Chains A and B, each alone.
Chain A
Amino acid sequence: MTRVALQMLFGDKMKFFALIIGLTFSAMMIAQQASIFTGYAGRSGAWIRDTSQGDLWVIDPQMEVFIDQKRMTNTQLQRVRSVDGVAWATQVFSGFLNARLPDGTIQAVRVVGLDDATLMGGPPRMVHGTLADLRRDRGIIVNSNDLGNLLKPRRKPGSPELGVGDRLDINDNEVEIVGVYSKSAEFFWEPVVYTTFSRALTLAPPERKLTQFIMVKAQPGQDLAQLQSRINAATGLAAHTGAEFAWLTTRYILIQTGILINFGITIALGFVIGVLVSGLLLYSFVLENTKNFAALKAMGAGNLTLTTMVLVQAGAAGVIGFGLGVGVAGVTGLVISDSGSLAFQMSWHVPVFTGVAILICCCVAAVVSLGRVLRLELSQVFKA
């Protein structure tokens, strides 16, 4: 009777299409919003994932997000280096400073100062020049996307974009672009400018604590969890793996920005629309077919058969709506995100989450409709 159930569903074209459109819209809304949420969550820890030369990040225990200006004294670097199992450890400066472009445009930038000797903690990919060019006088490296965007001179219309060899001021200190890098899209929008640790200190106002992060590489064969414990115990600092540190940042952003609640509301709205549309339309479909279901029951179709038929109808509508919805969300998301403006990341969790949501929609719709089918007044088959 499964095929009969499907023929009943597909045959009522208006209702079927309305049901599919409702479920597709619902699935699309859930999948798209969940993907954008995943994209933003992913972007929040992108810089940490891009900076993957070390095994551990050692930070001030009070730091909650990687841009938090809770720095350590540089003596902490020596203490970390002395912990058993540490192969090498380097310090990284990070701080927000104002840059002034040649045309007078003022732009806040995040200056990252890398260990002068090793240059550990640099960007993932160089587009022009090499990381070693940072050793040149006044050298900084900038992001390729920022050159056409936030580092674009915009006070005087028609000013050319900056490039390698151009100079600008950071906190009234002249610097020169010696290289261009590319990186993953980030949640934070301020341009990230790389330079050496010592040059970063000349750019930044003097402070007692200047080390933002200490990057640690474990000796071969070391258990990272044990090494973390040893560093924490020996220094009183907090050692995290890259994934842990990225999650620390992501969690902070999700909570502090309200992004979780905002996306949650939209996703919930998509779910409610799905439940209402599928519930009402499937119920309406069953209502219109009450006499047919009654005739089937009179002819010997038991409750199990009728229940299976309704579940098959709800399931088929759900599968089609889910497929179309996730497909449309995926294609439109990928097309739009190609421009780089949309934080869209459809990880495997998104289709699973959407599938469960649509499954619940269909179950609710089926249960509502089943009540009607199972309580059929059978004698209506004899009514004209």
Chain B
Amino acid sequence: MSTATSNQNIATRPGPVGLAVHCKGVTKHFGKGDSKVLALRGVDLDIKYGELMMLVGPSGCGKTTLISVIAGILDRDAGECTVFGADFANLSGGARTKWRGANIGFVFQQFNLLPTLTAAENVAVPLMILGEGRHAAVKRAYDVLATVGLADRGKSLPSQLSGGQQQRVAIARALIHQPRLIVCDEPTSALDAVTGHTVMRLLKGVAMAQDRALVIVTHDARIFGFADRVASMNDGSVVSVGTPAELEAVHRH
């Protein structure tokens, strides 16, 4: 099943021109009564096509909650949030899962590779979820593994790969179905500095395209330079958005 086919039944409306992701006044809380925590306090954030946006900020500031709302994993309480014009609030559970599968690729902090599947089979999983036959999906997985420099490791189990190689497999998995939005959660936090840079170069090199956007949540200041723009979050709000140079200047002052 192609991405285009899987989108045919999803009602979308054009988002603001040139924006892949548009969030306005997004709020989200967890818990009830005295234990109620406001995780997002009216977040405004736009991500353009072809842009690599990094979300940075201290632990508990709402970065992960925001990408969860953007990816349709969590429901927002209030505000607007569209991804390529689609508003998850208007989609049923099944349609939302289907849309997410076709349009969003994920790179997780702990890779989340299935330990009993080979690297190629792991990479092929999103295609199989979309209905592609196993043989064709695994064949395509080898092509994508080649783009991340792991053509010869397709038959390896995750346990036989280094952390950097596992993350490259995870990147290949996030790309195989050609999603338009790629969401990465701390992609370099489990890696050393050199491997982290290699992974980021790869992400920027193979994942970026004019019709695609990349959102990366990170604490890792060593990779800020790879971003087109950086959104700083604090206490559930986006406090500033700018280029890495602008962010550095703000910090210098």
Complex CA distance for A187 and B156, rounded to whole angstroms: 61
Stretch of B16-24, B42-50, B66-74 with 4 or more beta carbons under 8 angstroms from chain A:
B66-74
> Would you call B68 and A4 a contact (CB within 8 A)?
no
CB of A378 within 8 A of chain B? yes
Encode contact with B along A288-308: 1 for CB under 8 Å, 0 otherwise: 000110011111111101000
Within the complex, the shortest CB–CB distance from A226 to chain B, in Å, comes to: 63
> Would you call B185 and A302 a contact (CB within 8 A)?
no
> Would you call A300 and B117 a contact (CB within 8 A)?
no
* Contact among B116, B117, B134 with A12 in the assembled complex (CB-CB below 8 Å): B116
Q: In the complex, which residues 111-162 of chain B have their Cβ closer than 8 Å to any Cβ of chain A? A: 112, 114-117, 121, 125-126, 128-130, 134
> Would you call A7 and B116 a contact (CB within 8 A)?
yes
Q: In the complex, which residues 35-73 of chain B have their Cβ closer than 8 Å to any Cβ of chain A? A: 64-65, 67-68, 71, 73
Which residue of B71, B97, B98 has the most chain A CB atoms within 10 A of its CB atom?
B97
Complex CA distance for A11 and B114, rounded to whole angstroms: 10
How many residues of B are counted as interface, with CB atoms below 8 angstroms from the partner's CB atoms?
Answer: 35
> Would you call B97 and A297 a contact (CB within 8 A)?
yes
How many residues of A are counted as interface, with CB atoms below 8 angstroms from the partner's CB atoms?
Answer: 25
CB of B165 within 8 A of chain A? no
Contacts of A7 in B (CB 8 A): 114, 116-117, 121
Complex CA distance for A46 and B97, rounded to whole angstroms: 63
CB of B110 within 8 A of chain A? yes
CB of A156 within 8 A of chain B? no
> Would you call B97 and A291 a contact (CB within 8 A)?
no
* Contact among A4, A300, A302, A382 with B114 in the assembled complex (CB-CB below 8 Å): A4
Within the complex, the shortest CB–CB distance from A299 to chain B, in Å, comes to: 5
Complex CA distance for A193 and B38, rounded to whole angstroms: 92
Complex CA distance for A379 and B73, rounded to whole angstroms: 6
CB of A3 within 8 A of chain B? yes
Question: Residue of A at shortest CB range from B100?
Answer: A300
Question: Residue of A at shortest CB range from B73?
Answer: A378
> Would you call B101 and A3 a contact (CB within 8 A)?
no
> Would you call B116 and A296 a contact (CB within 8 A)?
no
> Would you call A296 and B94 a contact (CB within 8 A)?
no
Question: Residue of B at shortest CB range from A378?
Answer: B73
Within the complex, the shortest CB–CB distance from A7 to chain B, in Å, comes to: 5
Contacts of A4 in B (CB 8 A): 114, 117, 121, 125, 128
CB of A320 within 8 A of chain B? no
> Would you call A302 and B94 a contact (CB within 8 A)?
yes
Complex CA distance for A301 and B97, rounded to whole angstroms: 7
> Would you call B114 and A8 a contact (CB within 8 A)?
yes
> Would you call A300 and B74 a contact (CB within 8 A)?
no
Contacts of B130 in A (CB 8 A): 300
CB of B108 within 8 A of chain A? yes
Q: In the complex, which residues 252-302 of chain A have their Cβ closer than 8 Å to any Cβ of chain B? A: 291-292, 295-302
> Would you call B129 and A1 a contact (CB within 8 A)?
yes
Complex CA distance for A7 and B157, rounded to whole angstroms: 12
Question: Residue of B at shortest CB range from A9?
Answer: B116
Question: Residue of B at shortest CB range from A294?
Answer: B112
> What are 24 A-B pairs with beta-carbon distances under 8 A?
A1-B128, A1-B129, A3-B134, A4-B114, A7-B116, A12-B116, A295-B108, A296-B125, A296-B129, A298-B73, A298-B100, A299-B101, A299-B106, A299-B125, A300-B126, A300-B129, A301-B129, A302-B97, A305-B129, A381-B106, A381-B108, A381-B112, A382-B73, A384-B109
Give A contacts to B, CB under 8 Å.
Answer: 1, 3-4, 7-8, 10-12, 291-292, 295-303, 305, 378-379, 381-382, 384
User: 8 tightest CB-CB pairs across the interface, nearest first?
Assistant: A300-B101, A11-B116, A295-B112, A382-B185, A378-B73, A382-B64, A300-B129, A302-B97
